[in-house]
């Protein structure tokens, strides 16, 4: 039995479709848009139930646990913490309010759901957790500071959890996507130019990496794999990376997100 958060579209939906192909698969799909979850559940070749929830709500983790216990016998083999979002903007524009909303969804909600489900994962061991971080959790660009802060935090917590849960039979894997074309991260600026189009990848590739980092037992996967180079360069040649990322040409590397249009109302 697996729980996938953010399963209504994008990487989460592709992950549900990938996991559903495993023999004996059973899924709990989580996101806010119930219609999309129901439509996906109906199209999968395995049993799938839905929990329509805003993961930042206080009662969301408890509702998901109740669903696993009531509908799936309380067994949990895999938790995929995938739901997340980005709202671009400089710190001077967004301030602490923008940092807070990123932390609430991309970090706090992940920690709260994991805390609620860890007893089930331990009881079902060998089991796994996959945290979907980002290459932005290794390298920060202008106007992505709040998003990067939440993903840097997720990575730090993930690595600690990996070491702690080994003894309990709960594998903790992490996936770090680069530019992946989805509803939330359309990467329009990069796809418009022949020079940069090739660096944008597909949700199905991330889904495969999530499968490797969960049931496959891998600790860490960049998607596409060469993005690992960005993380290495940030450590080995920090001055060079800083110079490139603070130059004018780096502007196109901060692509707009779906969150941007809703940005003003939500802050
Ligand atoms: N695409 C990229 O380029 C990229 C790169 C690096 C990392 N990532 C990470 O990959 C993960 C998935 O991103 P994606 O590209 O698939 O984005 P997406 O297309 O925007 O999908 C995000 C998913 O999260 C759900 N979600 C958002 N806010 C939620 C909330 N408050 N409560 C419950 N569910 C919520 C959305 O469903 P509802 O709207 O129905 O709630 C949706 O299913 C995120 O953690 C993102 O940071 C993406």
- pLDDT, one tens digit per residue, over 130-141 is 999 999 999 999
Angle, in degrees to the nearest 10, between helices 109-123 and 60-72: 30
Please state which of the ranges 40-49, 151-160, 245-254 shows the lowest mean pLDDT: 245-254
pLDDT band of 263, cuts 50, 70, 90 = low
Phi, psi of 29 (to 5 degrees): -100, 130
Residue 20 Cα to ligand 1 middle (Å): 19
CA of 9 to the centre of ligand 1 (A): 8
- State residue 265's pLDDT score: 45
Question: What would the mean pLDDT of 145-170 be, rounded to a whole number?
Answer: 98
From 147, 162, 179, 222, the catalytic residue: 147
Q: Return phi, psi of residue 118, to 5°.
A: -55, -40
Beta-ladder partners of 180: 201
Token code pair at residue 66: 């109740």
Cβ atoms of 147 and 33 within 8 Å: the answer is no
- Count CB atoms within 10 A of the CB of residue 142: 14
Residue nearest to atom 7 of ligand 1 (CA): 134
Q: Which tens digits make up the pLDDT trace of 51-100?
A: 999 999 999 999 999 999 999 999 999 999 999 999 999 999 999 999 99
Residues with CB under 6 A from ligand 1: 6-12, 31-33, 36, 54-56, 82-85, 105, 132, 134, 177, 179-180, 182-185, 258
**Nearest atom in ligand 1 to 181's CA:** 1
Residue 105 CB-density burial (10 A; 0-12 exposed, 13-18 middle, 19+ buried): buried
Q: What is the mean pLDDT of residues 218-231?
A: 96
Residue 267: which pLDDT band, with cuts at 50, 70 and 90? Answer: very low
147 is catalytic: yes
Tell me whether strands 26-31 and 47-52 are parallel, antiparallel or unpaired: parallel
Nearest to 185 by CA among 201, 174, 198, 173: 201
For a mutational test of ligand 1's pocket, the pick from 184, 196, 258, i.e. the residue with the most ligand atoms closer than 8 A to its C-beta, is 184
Q: What is the pTM of this model?
A: 0.97
Report pLDDT for 247: 86
Can you spell out the DSSP letters for 175-195? EEE-SB--SS---HHHHTSHH
Residue whose Cα lies nearest atom 32 of ligand 1: it is 54
Residue 213's pLDDT band, with cuts at 50, 70 and 90, is very high
pLDDT score recorded for residue 251 = 82
Which atom belonging to ligand 1 lies closest to the Cα atom of 32? Answer: 41
Three-state DSSP state, 171: strand
Q: Compute the distance from residue 240 Cα to the ligand 1 centre, in Å.
A: 31
Query: What number is the average pLDDT over the span 3-19?
Result: 98
Give the whole-number percent of the chain exceeding pLDDT 70.
97
Measured in Å, residue 84 CA sits from the centre of ligand 1 at 4
Pocket test for ligand 1, best of 149, 185, 258 (most atoms within 8 A of CB): 185
- Judged against a pLDDT cut of 60, whether residue 44 lies above it is answered with yes
Residues pairing with 170 in the sheet: 127
pLDDT reading at 104 higher than 60: yes
Determine the Cα–Cα distance for residues 258 and 105; give it in Å rounded to an integer.
15
CA of 164 to the centre of ligand 1 (A): 27
DSSP-assigned states of every residue in 102-166:
HIIIIIIHHHHHHHHHHHHHHHT-SEEEEEE--GGGTS--TT-HHHHHHHHHHHHHHHHHHHHHG
């Amino acid at each position: 039995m697996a729980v996938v958060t953010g399963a209504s579209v994008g990487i989460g939906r592709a992950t549900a479709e990938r996991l559903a192909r495993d023999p004996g698969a059973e899924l709990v799909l989580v996101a806010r848009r119930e219609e999309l979850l129901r439509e996906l559940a109906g199209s999968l070749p395995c049993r799938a139930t839905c929990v329509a929830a805003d993961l930042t709500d206080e009662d969301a983790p408890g509702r998901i646990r109740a669903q696993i216990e009531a509908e799936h016998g309380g067994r949990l083999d895999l938790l995929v913490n995938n739901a997340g979002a980005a709202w671009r903007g400089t710190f001077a524009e967004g301030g602490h309010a923008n940092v807070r909303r990123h932390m609430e969804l991309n970090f706090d909600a992940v920690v709260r759901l994991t805390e609620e489900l860890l007893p089930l994962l331990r009881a079902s061991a060998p089991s796994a957790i996959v945290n979907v971080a980002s290459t932005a959790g290794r390298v920060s660009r202008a106007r992505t500071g709040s998003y990067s802060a939440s993903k840097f935090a997720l990575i730090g917590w993930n690595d600690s959890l990996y070491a702690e849960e080994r003894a309990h039979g709960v594998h903790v894997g992490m996936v770090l996507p680069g530019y992946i074309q989805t509803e939330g991260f359309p990467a329009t600026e990069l796809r418009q130019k022949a020079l940069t189009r090739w660096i944008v990848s597909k949700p199905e590739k991330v889904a495969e990496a999530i499968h490797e980092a969960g049931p496959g037992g891998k600790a860490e996967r960049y998607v596409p794999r060469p993005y690992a180079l960005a993380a290495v360069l940030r450590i080995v040649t920090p001055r060079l990376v800083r110079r490139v990322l603070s130059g004018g040409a780096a502007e196109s590397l901060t692509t707009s997100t779906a969150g941007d249009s809703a940005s003003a109302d939500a802050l």
